[in-house]
Structures are given as structure tokens and as C-alpha cells.
Copies of this chain bind each other. A is one copy, B any other.
Amino acid sequence: MIPSSLPRPLRGIIPPMVTPLLDRDTLDAQGLERLIEYILAGGVHGLFILGTTGEAPSLSYRLRRELIERTCRHVAGRVPVLVGITDTAFVESVNPPRRTKDAGAQAVVLSSPYYFPAGQPELLEYLQHLAPELPLPVFLYNMPSLTKVVFEPETVRQAADIAGVVGLKDSSANMIYFHQLQTLLRDRADFSLLIGPEELLAETTLLGGHGGICGGANMLPRLYVDLYNAARGRDLDAVAKLHERVMAVRNAIYSVGRHGSSYLKGLKCVLSCLGICSDFMAEPFHRFRQPERDLILRHMRELGIGG
């Protein structure tokens, strides 16, 4: 069931790719190809599309299908492609993976249903029902700030026994939680524990985590690959320096604008300023206007991004 090409555990930097858009239902197809090339040139170990950073829940199902097909075709097996299939409806979570496998993706990524908050036994049962219907390996996606539900450690431990469940991406930013998972899954060397927030990549990798699904790797893929390699190689001086740069980048780029969407808007704005792809955003968000864009440009100059 699991394609031989997906390493177990999956390790390294797997950027959660932004979705280049020309308008709310039109892909920026050329921008997409440039973005894929830009990211792959950074030496990343995989690509994750249709996650939170990819604005998946804001996109039409048609556009999501188009994105899967174009991405898989363009990546052409150079790295594994992971595809977010999170949905509030069980039935709608099952359909896309079939096409996804045919398109050539290697795995799907699944958070808890995010309208109704499931209890933990319900969440486990949900996974037990859903995983057998999926033709690809499954990564769990812990994102409680948006889904309102945590995959509690004991639930993850049991979910890891479901055939096809191969890893977890943790975007909770709760390092005690991450360490609890590591402890509970110590005997599962094949189960991948990946961190979401790039601010935590250094420490998770130093302490045995398998890598990161870090949004910043859209704009600076090499930085995160270097940090991951330094931490794997236990070069603490390099780790300190690269971690400091990660913090400097996020402090500058994600702090423009007011709402919770500063992170996404900053990321797309940088990619637009770099000439890689459009910064159009699907509702309910919209791209930065000129004053915020000017600030981003200033921060990019100060950080030496794109210059």
C-alpha cells in the first residue's frame, strides 16, 4: 500500500507550499512552476501542498484538483509530494486521495475535522474508519489553533498502529506535547515526527525529531535545509547561527499587518517581490496593499533576501 519511494520515517525539510493564485479560482500556473523549481533548488526533501499555508480550505475543490495534478506532473518524482486532504466531511476526505494517488503523490495529510470538535475516542474512530479508505500513507496534522482539537498523545499512540498512518506534523507550537509524542513513540523508528513552526526546527531536530514542514522554506528553502543538516550533524555553532537567522526572518516578515494572517500574507508578498509568483490570496484574506508591501521590501533588503 505504501509506495517504496516514501522514506520511512520521512525526514528533512518538506515546505508547506503556498498556492499561487491569479484570482480566487484561477491558479497562477507559471508562478507555480517557478515556485516549485525555486523550492526544489534549495535541496528540500519533499513538498506538502494544500495545507494551511496552501490556503486549502479557502480553495474550490476544482482548483485543488488542478493544483495536485500540476504539482505532481511538474515535480515528476524528484521529491515525494504530500497532499492535504483535511475536510469537515468524511466523504469529501475520501474522494480526493484517489485522484491524488493517480496523479503521482506519495502521501496525504489529515487534520481532525475542523467544524465539529470530536472527542478523542471519536477522533480515533474517525481515523480507524478513514485510513482504510485511503490509497496512500497518511500523516496526521495537529493544528489545534485552527481545528479546536488536539490529537492527544495517547490518541496518536493508538493511531500509529493503524495501517497506513506513518507520521505526524505538529503545528501546536507546544514543545512539551512534542516531547510527549517522542517518548510515547520511541519504539516506532519508522514513524515520522515533523514540526510545523520553523522557530522550533533547531531544537526538535537536535532532540531527535525528523524534520520540519516550515512555511519559511517557501522563500528561503536553503536556510531551513542548512539548519536541518547542521542540527542532524550536531554542529551547534552552525545551528545557533542559522536558528538566529530563522528568528530574524520571522520577526521581520511575519510581523507586518495586524491580523492572524500576517504570516501567510508576508510569505506570499516576499514571493511576489522575488518575482516568483502572484501574491493574490483567497478570501477571507487579501494580499498586502502597497504600504505593507513597502515594509516587506525594506525588511527583505535588511535581511538580504533576494539580493
A interface list, Cβ under 8 A from B: 24-25, 52, 55, 57-63, 88-92, 112-119, 122-123, 125-126, 129-130, 146, 148, 173-176, 179-180, 182-183, 186, 197, 199-200, 202-203, 206-208, 234, 236, 239-240, 243-244, 247-248, 251, 258-261, 282-286
Is B57 a contact of A115 with CB atoms below 8 Å?
yes
Is A91 a contact of B60 with CB atoms below 8 Å?
yes
Is A117 a contact of B247 with CB atoms below 8 Å?
no
Is B283 a contact of A126 with CB atoms below 8 Å?
yes
CB contact under 8 A between A119 and B261, given known A240-B208, A283-B90, A284-B126: yes
Residue of A118, A175, A248 contacting most chain B CB atoms (<10 Å): A175
Further contacts, 9 of them, CB under 8 A, given A25-B91, A58-B116, A113-B284:
A24-B90, A57-B89, A58-B113, A60-B91, A119-B259, A130-B283, A146-B148, A175-B203, A183-B244
A239 to B25: give the CA distance in the assembly, Å. 50
Contact of A183 among B125, B183, B236, B251 (CB under 8 A): B251
CB contact under 8 A between A176 and B203, given known A24-B90, A261-B119: no
Contacts of A59 in B (CB 8 A): 89, 91
A190 to B260: give the CA distance in the assembly, Å. 34
Contacts of A88 in B (CB 8 A): 57-58
Is A60 a contact of B92 with CB atoms below 8 Å?
yes
A243 to B175: give the CA distance in the assembly, Å. 13
Q: How far is the CB of A184 from chain B (nearest CB, A)?
A: 8
Is B199 a contact of A116 with CB atoms below 8 Å?
no
- CB-based nearest B residue for A64: B89
CB contact under 8 A between A116 and B175, given known A58-B90, A91-B60, A236-B234: no
Contacts of A58 in B (CB 8 A): 88-90, 113, 115-116
A259 to B124: give the CA distance in the assembly, Å. 14
A60 to B93: give the CA distance in the assembly, Å. 9
- CB-based nearest B residue for A119: B259
- CB-based nearest B residue for A237: B234
Is B60 a contact of A116 with CB atoms below 8 Å?
no
Contacts of A183 in B (CB 8 A): 244, 247-248, 251
Q: How far is the CB of A71 from chain B (nearest CB, A)?
A: 19
- CB-based nearest B residue for A259: B119
CB contact under 8 A between A199 and B173, given known A58-B116, A259-B122: no
CB contact under 8 A between A91 and B285, given known A174-B173, A203-B207, A234-B236: no
Residue of A57, A123, A174 contacting most chain B CB atoms (<10 Å): A57
Contacts of A115 in B (CB 8 A): 52, 57-58, 114, 146
Is B61 a contact of A92 with CB atoms below 8 Å?
yes
A112 to B40: give the CA distance in the assembly, Å. 36
